[in-house]
Structure 1
């Protein structure tokens, strides 16, 4: 079982670790979380340490404290992954051999934006059959919540959730 799968069980204890378990730096972040778990419990096996934290409130509380203390380092790993994606795009713009390779991300973003606006206009002004209403609502939620927000986050940066500050 991978280290990411093992420590993902601890998301219920400290939900903030969920964002660290994706991207190219996920393995490093998962290992850091596993190290915290094994240090707290005194067990060498990350899976056993995870299970111990999940059943023992004392270890659970200590794990939360340690995650809070290490949050800065874990956020740094997460942000390095995002920075790599932006750096890659800068390099493509500088060194792209063709106009298509240099401008692809902008054309892609424009296509997604036009598609999203067209879909929103279509379901707003064209009647949707009653049997397809839920499908249309689901697609609208995906378009607004995922597609458009991903474009905005890529070009303007993602904001840190307010709940992380609490």
Structure 2
């Protein structure tokens, strides 16, 4: 039975594939652990016997890299369809995130009109608590926890949690309170690039070529 796709490994899978010139596969594994990415991972293991999670752990041999390149070459049309779906999913996620932030700021604007002090300041209390907890965890991970072979599994969990806190929690707080017009412009450009990528993939799929 094919191994499940490990979400925490995705950040390492896509760059490793791109480094080997496997741009089509890299595009599929560049985002979240979606159904499409899982199906491609299962297809790879079925056709080549390679667990895509091994790519993140740098356990792929030269022979296996050759198998992956051959797999990409022989399954271009199928992979293009998955790539197109991933691009569409990325685009929709960006639009939803943009809408969520706008709704959150509108909600806070309404909350500021409330007579209850706690309601008006809840978002600030919440953000402060999360920020302090994040920095406390960073301090623990950096100066308290002992990274040894005996507690290797615990260390991996700490690395995953630390990545989540820095990449999601703290990042979301900073973007919410300090988001600028430059940040908004960057988001708009990303949505535009994703839209163009979808259109490009559609053309490549119709022509039967590689993007």
Using the TM superposition, give the Cα deviation of residue 90 of structure 1 relative to its aligned residue in structure 2, in angstroms. Answer: 0.8
Instruction: Give the counterpart of 2:187 among 154, 160, 166.
Output: 160
One of 143, 146, 150 as aligned partner of 1:125: 143
Report if the CA contact (8 A) 2:91-2:191 is conserved: no
Report the CA distance between 1:127 and its aligned residue. 2.9
Partner of 1:142: 164
Give the CA deviation at 1:108: 0.4
Shift of 1:96: 1.6
- Aligned-residue offset at 1:20: 4.8
Q: 1:21 aligns with which of 92, 113, 129?
A: 92
The 3-state SS of whatever aligns with 1:138 is: helix
Offset at residue 16 of structure 1 (A): 4.3
> TM-score when scaled to structure 2?
0.42
Map 1:11-160; keep pairs closer than 5 Å: 12-13=83-84, 15-22=86-93, 79-93=98-112, 95-128=113-146, 130=148, 131=151, 132-157=154-179, 159-160=186-187
Higher relative contact order (CA 8 A, sep 6+): 2
Question: SS state of the match for residue 123, structure 2?
Answer: helix
Shift in Å, 1:162: 6.2
After TM superposition, give the deviation of residue 91 of structure 1 in Å. Answer: 1.0
Report how many residues are paired. Answer: 106
Distance (Å, rounded) in 2 between the aligned partners of 1:124 and 1:139: 13
Normalised by the length of structure 1, the TM-score is 0.52
User: Structure 2: how far apart are the matches of 1:126 and 1:147?
Assistant: 22
Per-residue deviation, residues 84-122 of structure 1 (Å, max 9, x unmatched): 2211111111x2221110000001000000000011011
CA distance in 2, matches of 1:134, 1:21: 31
Structure 2 stretches lacking a partner, 5+ long:
1-34, 37-80, 194-211
Q: Partners of 1:81 and 1:119 in 2: how far apart?
A: 27
Give the Cα separation in 2 of the matches to 1:118 and 1:141: 14
Specify whether residues 17 and 144 from structure 1 end up closer, same or farther in structure 2 by C-alpha distance, changes over 3 A only: same
Query: What CA RMSD, in Å, does the superposition of the two structures yield over aligned residues?
Result: 3.1
